Amino acid sequence: MARTRRLTVAQALIEFLVNQYSERDGVEQRLVPGCFGIFGHGNVAGIGETLLESARNDPAAMPYTLVRNEQAMVHTAAGFARMKNRMATLACTTSIGPGATNMVTGAALATVNRLPVLLLPGDIFATRVASPVLQELEDARSFDISVNDCFKPVSRFWDRINRPEQLPSSLLAAMRVLTDPVETGAVTLAMPQDVQAEAWDWPEELFERRVWRVRRPQPEPAALAEATALVRGATRPLIVAGGGVVYSEATDALRALAEQTGIPVCETQAGKGSLPYDHPSALGAVGATGTAAANAIAREADVIIGIGTRWSDFTTASRSLFADPGVRFVNLNVAPVDAFKHAGLPLVADARVGIEALGSALSGWSVADDYRERAHRLARDWDAQVERAFMLGHAPLPAQSEVIGAVNRVSEPLDVVVCAAGSLPGDLHKLWRTRDAKGYHVEYGYSCMGYEIAGGLGVKLAAPEREVFVMVGDGSYLMMAQEIVTAVQEGIKLTIVLVQNHGFASIGGLSEAVGSSRFGTSYRLRNAASGMLDGDRLPIDLAANAASLGADVISVSNVGELEEALRTARAADRTTVVHVETDPLVGSPSSEAWWDVPIAAVSQLDATIVARKAYEQAKTQQRPFV
């Protein structure tokens, strides 16, 4: 007889998680080293009971952190996972109903960004004896549906544990997906509240230490030979580095390849930091929020080597950027879905292994010196533009680019800047001088307002030795600032730069560009005369709001004060919010690239009619395969 242990389903779940490790390149670490949550009737007795037992037995085994909002804690888990290069994540436990569905946005963010998170929403009674229970969705078509079915399209693995016997195979599948570089994303195990508390005799084997090796697949020799021939025949090749370069810890290999071949390198949002900003091969950001340097080279390039990128519309400037008529793509990606995009030559492999293989195969070959020099000259010209944007001296309120400059100057190379939505991500992508592969953390797969502070918590948890600068607009702040309380509770130190511009600079600017005249994008009182939101500024005080949540707060009114405040905050050991007001109407240097946002084909508004004309012209630059 195999030995067994009698535990509840929830106890078995946590005991299993405590014993799971990830491994790559010989480095083992706990795969799920903590659990975040909010209790309700759907998890307080099952998972809640076992987390208390666990904390009593060994506080380090599965530490539990109480948060303010379920969506936010999934962001924290995603930020943590990204900072750990997907080698670890956090579990998230909720009650049934609203606590569970609050996580759906977080799940989508994780899955879109290919970041592992383990979601454990409570679910209605499997036995259904007392149905409908509090917060149960009743569906007349099927008694098998609960709100947790909403997680299916935003999860890479989804299961509902209706019987204890189902748990072991679901747990193994969940770990497989979390640690699979192709499949990874949100993993949802819906946990009916009665089943959580049910006891079962589990085989001891379930709780043995398990190590999940994150694979580094090699490229196929024939595919490599084809790709090499294409690159060797190129005169103006360009590397586009995506998040996969960072996750695969391929940045040193990329640098070596760039130095060996002279191929210039540009970066997507997730790939920013693949090279230090001042490396001779670095062109900086590419695409709709890119540098004029990268975009000029991209327009002329004959072979594009995409590494670990999923070719979002921001990267391709909505498929208008790669304009050479004969342009060809080589896609080095661990995920076939990305490797086959743009009719490219698919090099299905781990980024680091693939870069090293390309390097060997390209031995003795490099780009012409004048191409290398032209790329470097363009990059230097762009950096001079960055310097001007940092030192604009705009009055009376500083420009956002000056705020970014101040944060960049005060931060040390290993510090991390965190952002997600608004006008900051684009400006950061263009302007931030990244000096470390993990120094730039902008969530731009989902660009989710509210990720900033919660995600920053995850970053700091994953890398407590680094200083974390969260940059957040007033709109994003108002959507999800409450995790400041969690930071204070846990003594997790963040520096939060709150950029107050009284509304949506980003969507306001976009609105103007599409002929919608900034309608509904600034925070103003309803004007009785016009009936519009164009009255006085709202009588609100976000600095006071941050202080009320327990943060130290410094309000500044110019760039000099800002730098001083940032130094104070950086040296402090408490979470500090630096509140700065900026002028929303000052842009940053142009990317000289387009982004496809459709404009009304018929309209009574003159501005829209003009914008539509320009739009129709821009559409002609879009290419079907690139």
Ligand X SMILES: Cc1ncc(C[n+]2csc(CCOP(=O)(O)OP(=O)(O)O)c2C)c(N)n1
Residues of this chain that interact with ligand X (CB under 6 A) are 421-424, 447-450, 473-476, 501, 504-507
Position among 123, 194, 467, 474 found at the interface with Mg ion (CB under 5 A): 474
Q: Which two tokens stand for residue 494?
A: 């963040």
The DSSP code sequence of 272-293 is TTSS-TTSTTEEEE-STT--HH
Closest CA to 88 of 455, 417, 458: 458
Q: How far is the CB of 554 from ligand X (least distance, A)?
A: 20
Judged by beta carbon, residue 54 or residue 71, the one nearer ligand X is: 71
Judged by beta carbon, residue 121 or residue 445, the one nearer ligand X is: 445
Any residues with CB less than 8 A from the CB of 396 and at least 6 apart, and which? none
Q: How far is the CB of 165 from ligand X (least distance, A)?
A: 40
Choose the contact partner of 424 out of Mg ion, ligand X, none; CB within 5 to 8 A by kind. ligand X
Closest CA to 61 of 16, 127, 3: 16
Q: Which two tokens stand for residue 86?
A: 């997907």
Q: In this structure, are residues 449 and 276 in contact, taking their beta carbons and an 8 Å threshold?
A: no
Q: How far is the CB of 600 from ligand X (least distance, A)?
A: 19
Choose the contact partner of 179 out of Mg ion, ligand X, none; CB within 5 to 8 A by kind. none
Q: Which stretch binds Mg ion (CB under 5 A): 61-69, 297-305, 449-457, 472-480?
A: 472-480
Q: How far is the CB of 223 from ligand X (least distance, A)?
A: 37
Any residues with CB less than 8 A from the CB of 191 and at least 6 apart, and which? 9, 10, 13, 43, 46, 47, 120, 121, 122, 123, 161
Q: Which stretch binds Mg ion (CB under 5 A): 39-47, 448-456, 495-503, 531-539?
A: 495-503
Any residues with CB less than 8 A from the CB of 353 and at least 6 apart, and which? 216, 217, 218, 219
Judged by beta carbon, residue 206 or residue 424, the one nearer ligand X is: 424
Q: How far is the CB of 401 from ligand X (least distance, A)?
A: 12
Give the residue at shortest CB distance from Mg ion.
473
Any residues with CB less than 8 A from the CB of 502 and at least 6 apart, and which? 474, 522, 523, 524, 537, 538, 584
Judged by beta carbon, residue 123 or residue 474, the one nearer ligand X is: 474
| 415 near Mg ion, rule: CB under 5 A | no
Any residues with CB less than 8 A from the CB of 310 and at least 6 apart, and which? 114, 242, 333, 335, 337, 338, 341
Q: In this structure, are residues 307 and 332 in contact, taking their beta carbons and an 8 Å threshold?
A: yes
Position among 42, 473, 508, 515 found at the interface with Mg ion (CB under 5 A): 473
* Site of tokens 């950096």: 383
What single-letter amino acid sits at 388?
A: R
Choose the contact partner of 506 out of Mg ion, ligand X, none; CB within 5 to 8 A by kind. ligand X
Judged by beta carbon, residue 248 or residue 500, the one nearer ligand X is: 500
Torsion of CA 572, 489, 106, 189, to 10 degrees: 140
Q: How far is CA 451 from CA 185, 368, 419, 523, in A?
A: 16, 43, 7, 21
Any residues with CB less than 8 A from the CB of 51 and at least 6 apart, and which? 14, 35, 37, 62, 64, 93
Q: How far is the CB of 30 from ligand X (least distance, A)?
A: 31
Q: In this structure, are residues 498 and 470 in contact, taking their beta carbons and an 8 Å threshold?
A: no
Judged by beta carbon, residue 49 or residue 313, the one nearer ligand X is: 313
Q: How far is the CB of 114 from ligand X (least distance, A)?
A: 19
Judged by beta carbon, residue 88 or residue 421, the one nearer ligand X is: 421
| 475 near Mg ion, rule: CB under 5 A | yes
Choose the contact partner of 447 out of ligand X, Mg ion, none; CB within 5 to 8 A by kind. ligand X
Rounded-to-integer distance, Cα 106 and Cα 554, Å:
30
Judged by beta carbon, residue 362 or residue 448, the one nearer ligand X is: 448
Choose the contact partner of 576 out of ligand X, Mg ion, none; CB within 5 to 8 A by kind. none
Choose the contact partner of 21 out of Mg ion, ligand X, none; CB within 5 to 8 A by kind. none
Choose the contact partner of 421 out of ligand X, Mg ion, none; CB within 5 to 8 A by kind. ligand X
Choose the contact partner of 423 out of Mg ion, ligand X, none; CB within 5 to 8 A by kind. ligand X
Rounded-to-integer distance, Cα 496 and Cα 287, Å:
28
Judged by beta carbon, residue 20 or residue 588, the one nearer ligand X is: 588
Position among 22, 309, 501, 582 found at the interface with Mg ion (CB under 5 A): 501
Closest CA to 505 of 441, 590, 421, 428: 421
Judged by beta carbon, residue 54 or residue 101, the one nearer ligand X is: 101
Q: Which stretch binds Mg ion (CB under 5 A): 375-383, 465-473, 531-539, 595-603?
A: 465-473
**Binding stretches for Mg ion (CB under 5 A):** 473-475, 501
